[in-house]
């Protein structure tokens, strides 16, 4: 690690790495340590998981640890952050497909312990479904660790600008920038759903540990706003600034516009 410090203006912690590989390995190690620590106490590890390009290397490393170092996921209960609506779980753009491809298909997690908002439920059943998702997280005692990426507009999960900090799991409308960023995956903007189910900001901040991973120059502008700008619902990730159980894990490019980090 290059540098670890309290973020210049607040109480969360910033871990800076010279490249995306090192940052990803650090995150994977944190997750593996938690799983093992819970195992030694005979407890489940309740993980909040994210999708997108950012966590792919983290998941690859977790698979390596499973295959080469015997890391077992038998005690892991997972809850994914979000899913497009509507989408079929077997569609290659769905987050169910993503998670199976990049992680679940290659580890020993029990199928019954995997939770991903499945959005092929009828429109009039969504509120009930979201409430049940939220209750399930609570029934497992809440999230031990939440892994987050960040959207270019500051979204976490699919909590878009304007989301209330009190929101829990619900149906959301996707922001135009979010849909634009997804258009390559969907083969054109017209194919990108307009809505999604997302756990809320309130659900996220209650996790006992939060790791926000951001990599690359594309994220530098929003990272500087989220870490050092005003705390505002216009930048949903800004809520994390004052939380001592939050760690931002950044490579040098993503951290390029953070004032003190650039000087260091």
The pair of structure tokens assigned to 26 is: 């650090």
Smallest Cα–Cα separation from 199: which of 234, 147, 141, 122? 147
CB of 126 to ligand GLP, least distance (A): 17
- Catalytic residue from among 15, 155, 175, 252: 155
User: CB of 174 within 8 A of CB of 180?
Assistant: no
Mark whether 15 is an active-site residue. Answer: no
Cβ proximity to ligand GLP: between 37 and 164 the closer is 164
Smallest Cα–Cα separation from 57: which of 90, 19, 94? 19
Cβ proximity to ligand GLP: between 39 and 177 the closer is 177
Cβ proximity to ligand GLP: between 76 and 213 the closer is 213
- Catalytic residue from among 160, 167, 247, 251: 160
Whether the bond into 48 is cis, omega within 30 of 0: no
- The DSSP-derived string for 147-158 is EE---TTS-BTT
- Catalytic residue from among 61, 82, 134, 167: 82
Mark whether 82 is an active-site residue. Answer: yes
Per CB under 6 A, residues contacting ligand GLP are 50-54, 81-82, 149-151, 157-158, 178
Cβ proximity to ligand GLP: between 150 and 235 the closer is 150
Mark whether 155 is an active-site residue. Answer: yes
- Catalytic residue from among 10, 80, 113, 153: 153
**Dihedral angle over CA of 134, 250, 95, 170, nearest 10:** 30
Smallest Cα–Cα separation from 171: which of 199, 144, 140? 199
CB of 34 to ligand GLP, least distance (A): 20
Can you tell me the distance from the alpha carbon of 169 to that of 153, in angstroms, rounded to the nearest whole number? 20
CB of 26 to ligand GLP, least distance (A): 16
**Catalytically annotated residues:** 82, 153, 155, 160
């Amino acid at each position: 690690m290059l540098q670890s410090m309290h973020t210049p203006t607040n109480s969360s912690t910033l871990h800076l790495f010279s490249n995306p590989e090192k940052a990803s390995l650090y995150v994977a190690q944190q997750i593996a340590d938690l799983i093992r620590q819970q195992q030694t106490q005979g407890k489940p590890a309740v993980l909040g998981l994210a999708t997108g390009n950012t966590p792919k290397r983290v998941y690859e490393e977790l698979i390596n640890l499973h295959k080469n170092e015997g890391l077992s996921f038998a005690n892991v209960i997972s809850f994914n952050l979000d899913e497009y609506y509507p989408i079929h779980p077997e569609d290659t753009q769905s987050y169910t497909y993503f998670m199976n491809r990049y992680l679940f298909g290659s580890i020993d997690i029990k199928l019954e312990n995997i939770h991903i908002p499945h959005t092929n439920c009828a429109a009039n059943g969504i509120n009930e479904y979201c409430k049940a998702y939220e209750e399930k997280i609570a029934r497992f005692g809440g999230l031990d660790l939440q892994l987050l990426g960040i959207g270019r507009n500051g979204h976490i999960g699919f909590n878009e600008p304007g989301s209330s900090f009190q929101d829990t799991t619900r149906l959301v409308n996707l922001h135009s920038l979010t849909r634009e960023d997804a258009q390559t995956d969907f083969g054109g903007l017209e194919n990108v759903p307009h809505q999604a189910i997302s756990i809320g900001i309130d659900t996220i901040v209650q996790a006992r540990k939060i790791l926000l991973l951001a990599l690359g120059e594309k994220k530098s502008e929003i990272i500087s706003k989220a870490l050092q700008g005003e705390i505002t619902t216009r930048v949903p990730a800004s809520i994390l600034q004052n939380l001592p159980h939050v760690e931002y894990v950044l490579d040098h490019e993503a951290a390029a516009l953070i004032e003190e980090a650039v000087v260091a």
